[in-house]
Every structure is written in structure tokens, then in C-alpha cells.
Amino acid sequence: MSAWPPWRLVPLIAGAWLVPGSGHFALGRRGRGLAFFALVAGSATIGALLHGNLFGIQPGQPLSLLATLAVAASGAPYFVLRVGLGFTGDPYAPGYEYGSVFLLSAGLMNLMLLFDVWDIGSGRKE
């Protein structure tokens, strides 16, 4: 595959952030794109079903910004949960901690996928 110019990669990365796996799909890696979408969306779904913490910025808690950015990196799953469903999590639920890890993992996995899309699109990785 030939390398894409950087100006064409920026919208691709933005789309890949919003819809996990779409960057790989657009680069012709359709199977990987679908698998990555299922992985990120599945992790976010499991996290929500376990009532994990969908982090938000808390005044006086500077690390809450990092956790919020990590969870928001999952893109559409974050916005569906936060805005669409008003989900925040239930700290008294038995699976709260595990669910929080699944939600964080969904966002951090999607960040790793953005770097992978950049490397594939720029020709650094085949």
C-alpha cells in the first residue's frame, strides 16, 4: 500500500477515533477494522454492564482529567454511554472496579489503534 500524505491522515484518524476500527476499514484492512470495532465496543459494553465508572472531571482531583481522557478515547461508545444513556456507573455494584477497568481499556485500546492507523497510512507499517 502506498503512503498517504499527512493531510489525508488527519481526517482518517479523527474518524478512527470516533468509530473504532473505521480507520483500518478505510485503509483496506476490513477484517481487522471489524475485529477492532468489536473489541473496543465489546469492552465498553462489558464495562457498562458491570456498572463501571465512566470517569468525568472532578474538581480538586487532577488525575480525574487523565481518566476522563482515557475513557473518552473510546470515541462513540463513550458518547453513547455518557450523552445518549446518561450512564455514570454505580460504585455500589459488585462489578464496579472490573467495569471501570473495561471502560478504561476500551479507550486506551482505541488510542493504540489510532497509532496503528497512522503507521499503516503513512507507510511505516505494512
pLDDT in the model for residue 8: 81
pTM of the model: 0.91
pLDDT in the model for residue 116: 95
pLDDT in the model for residue 1: 57
Helix, strand, coil share of the chain (percent; to 5): 65, 0, 35
Q: What is the mean pLDDT of residues 105-123?
A: 94
pLDDT in the model for residue 46: 98
Q: How many CB atoms lie within 10 A of CB 82?
A: 17
Per residue in 24-53, pLDDT (tens digit) is 999 999 999 999 999 999 999 999 999 999
| C-alpha dist (Å) from residue 126 to 31, 49, 94 | 15, 36, 43
pLDDT in the model for residue 6: 75
Residue spans per domain, the chain:
6-121
d(CA 35, CA 71): 20
